């Protein structure tokens, strides 16, 4: 439970729903009360204290529900007092398609008598249905994953009680294979997911050269979206997206770019322009270059007596 709470603020709502489910299960009321209390406390603490303190604003996902308000309290208030605002978003063709995609893989093993575990999936499902962000309404992205354990538990109960449509293991395996082929985009495993293997080793080598400097805690990194997660040990990491080619470079000590694979919401033109600027700047030098991966380091920082 504590591990789940430490992952993401919104998952505290899942923990709250888990607590409600456990409270309704007679032998587990104490655990339900603990989950409910911890979930509510962490949601309030993370969204109203921690995130505003360190980011200076509301949680980033609030913008996906702008029609309900501009803050977590305002959204909660409108959900309670103006439910008509959300009804038009819930009953839509896009949501209907999402529900079909979500239920088809599991529907054969869901029984009305064993649906109580799905209470834990309700916060994630409702958030995905209410949002304007289309990526939350498909199975390609990660937004449906918090629902998966609760679907599995509900399915296990129905299968154990022989209430599922499929009883034979062979039928279950065949259905699982059919759903995987239909929905998991298996072609990506041999194509899209491997497109950057040709620069993988070079990227790893470049990342190892981006070090934390205790005497230069403000030195940031400008890099591509696919590399940023490997550089979170730096105090500042900014994505080199389209539109950033002319941005000020003073906050950064390192610029790490992949010329072959610019990354999400970036382009070869953006990477090329940034590279040209850095090559022409006297206070930057090329520290590493291999297979289209280039790492520039600010010279005046390296030569500073502080470093």
Which pLDDT does position 217 carry in this prediction?
57
On whether both 208 and 264 belong to a single domain, the answer is: yes
pLDDT exceeds 70 at position 154: yes
Which pLDDT does position 232 carry in this prediction?
83
On whether both 251 and 213 belong to a single domain, the answer is: yes
Of 171, 194, 217, the last residue of a domain is 194
- Phi, psi (deg, nearest 5) at residue 253: -100, -30
Of 194, 220, 242, the last residue of a domain is 194
pLDDT exceeds 60 at position 182: yes
Residue 307: inside a domain, yes or no?
Answer: no
Q: 1-10, 50-59, 133-142, 281-290 — which one is most confidently predicted on average?
A: 281-290
On whether both 243 and 263 belong to a single domain, the answer is: yes
Which pLDDT does position 243 carry in this prediction?
92
On whether both 277 and 297 belong to a single domain, the answer is: yes
Please count the structural domains in the chain: 3
Domain interval for residue 267: 197-302
Of 194, 210, 242, the last residue of a domain is 194
On whether both 166 and 235 belong to a single domain, the answer is: no
On whether both 127 and 176 belong to a single domain, the answer is: yes
pLDDT exceeds 60 at position 307: no
pLDDT exceeds 90 at position 239: yes
pTM for the predicted model, two decimal places = 0.78
Which pLDDT does position 62 carry in this prediction?
93
On whether both 265 and 213 belong to a single domain, the answer is: yes
pLDDT exceeds 50 at position 285: yes
On whether both 176 and 207 belong to a single domain, the answer is: no
On whether both 292 and 237 belong to a single domain, the answer is: yes
């Amino acid at each position: 439970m504590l591990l789940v709470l430490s992952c993401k603020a919104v998952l505290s709502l899942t923990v709250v729903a888990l607590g409600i489910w456990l409270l309704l299960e007679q032998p587990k009321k104490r655990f339900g009360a603990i989950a409910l209390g911890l979930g509510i406390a962490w949601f309030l603490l993370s969204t109203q204290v921690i995130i505003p303190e360190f980011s200076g604003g509301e949680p980033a996902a609030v913008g996906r529900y702008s029609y309900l308000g501009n803050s977590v309290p305002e959204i909660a208030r409108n959900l309670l007092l103006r439910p008509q605002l959300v009804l038009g978003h819930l009953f839509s063709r896009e949501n209907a398609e999402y529900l079909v995609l979500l239920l088809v893989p599991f529907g054969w093993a869901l029984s009305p008598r064993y649906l109580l575990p799905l209470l834990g999936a309700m916060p994630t499902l409702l958030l995905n249905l209410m949002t304007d962000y289309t990526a939350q309404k498909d199975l390609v992205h990660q937004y449906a994953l918090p629902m998966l354990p609760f679907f599995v538990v509900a399915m296990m109960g129905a299968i154990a009680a022989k209430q599922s449509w499929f009883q034979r293991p062979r039928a279950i395996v065949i259905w699982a294979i059919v759903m995987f082929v239909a929905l998991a985009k298996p072609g990506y495993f041999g194509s899209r997911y491997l497109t950057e293997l040709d620069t993988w080793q070079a990227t790893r080598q470049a990342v190892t050269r981006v070090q934390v400097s205790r005497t230069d805690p403000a030195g940031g990194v400008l890099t591509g979206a696919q590399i940023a997660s490997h550089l979170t040990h730096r105090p500042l990491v900014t994505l080199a997206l389209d539109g950033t080619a002319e941005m000020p470079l003073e906050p950064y000590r390192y610029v790490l770019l992949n010329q072959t694979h610019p990354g999400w919401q970036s382009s070869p033109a953006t990477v090329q322009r940034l590279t040209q600027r850095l090559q022409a700047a006297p206070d930057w030098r090329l520290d590493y270059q291999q297979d289209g991966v280039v790492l520039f380091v600010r010279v005046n920082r390296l030569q500073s007596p502080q470093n």
